[in-house]
Structure 1
Amino acid sequence: MTLAMDIPALHVFMRQAFPQVADDFCVDRLEPDGLTVRMLIADRHLRPGGTVSGPSMFALADVSIYLAILSRIGPVALAVTTNCSIDFMRKPESGRDLFAEARLLKLGRTLAVGDVLLRSDGSDAIVARAGLTYSIPPKV
């Protein structure tokens, strides 16, 4: 399948549609089968004890699947999460960015389903795994 948006286009879209969080995320790899997104960890992403918070990890998983979908269908701002299941498997390594490897399992006209694996920078250990479903609005 061909891509509808490349990495620079995804970054521009995020800055326009979600300026409040766009600087937290960077697409590092984009291929037809999926992408890798880096979350630039800052103090606002940490919970007591210095580890990355669960809501921040959820945000990374959610944004990663969203961008994977948009890379295939183009800039559809109103594609929305309809389901997410996330397993927190181990504590992320302190002081390191997180990476999400997202892949689409199904991309239909109205629904998309994907998987995301989260890792700390420099580690092969999976810190969280998420499965997400998105609703894609009808074309007007």
Structure 2
Amino acid sequence: MIVMDAPALRAFLAAEFPQVASEFAIEEVGEELVVRLHVSDRHLRPGGTVSGPTMFALADVAIYLAVLARLGPVALAVTTNCSIDFLRKPEAGRDLIARARLLKLGRQLAVGDVLIWSEGGSDPVARAGLTYAIPPKR
């Protein structure tokens, strides 16, 4: 069940993470959560491709937002594990699109999967599996 929609998630990011909120656009909230990263020069590595840390950040934010969409504003939910596979070079000059889905949402842990594409691309450029720790309710 969705408890935070796209406008609520945007407002949460702006309030809690203003340093990066403008880089991400929440495009869809449902069974999958779709997030766009607005790629700029600061995200590129030598050779003109998007850096690995940038793709990790997109995957991490996408799962975090998927957790929040279902639990509400739990600012202290944190990443406890991430495994990311870089599958192919992202296309230069294109935004990245992440499609995140939760595989398990328990009381203490959330486990999710993210596929990342270059905008307009037909094959994913990265795949990540993440686990989030959910703080106890007070």
Give TM-score, length-normalised by structure 1: 0.97
Shift of 1:56: 0.2
Correspondent of 2:78 among 77, 80, 86: 80
Structure 1 residue 138, shift from structure 2 partner:
0.2
In structure 2, C-alpha distance between the alignment counterparts of 1:62 and 1:92, rounded to whole Å: 18
TM-score under structure 2 length normalisation: 0.99
User: Structure 1 counterpart of 2:14, which letter?
Assistant: R
Tell me how far apart the structure 1 counterparts of residues 126 and 32 of structure 2 sit (CA, whole Å). Answer: 17
Cα distance between partner residues in 2 of 1:103 and 1:94: 26
| Identity value in percent | 68
Give me the whole-angstrom Cα distance separating, in 1, the residues matched to 2:74 and 2:118.
30
Which structure 2 segments of 5+ residues have no match? none
Structure 1 stretches of 5 or more lacking a match?
none
Partner of 2:50: 52
Q: CA deviation at 1:124?
A: 1.7
1:23 positional shift? 0.5
Q: What is the 5 A alignment of 1:1-140?
A: 2-31=1-30, 33-140=31-138
Distance 1:15 1:123 in 2: 29
Matched length: 138
- Aligned AA for 2:65? L
> By how many angstroms is 1:49 displaced?
1.0
Cα distance in 2 for residues equivalent to 1:87 and 1:130: 6
Moved over 4 A (4+): none
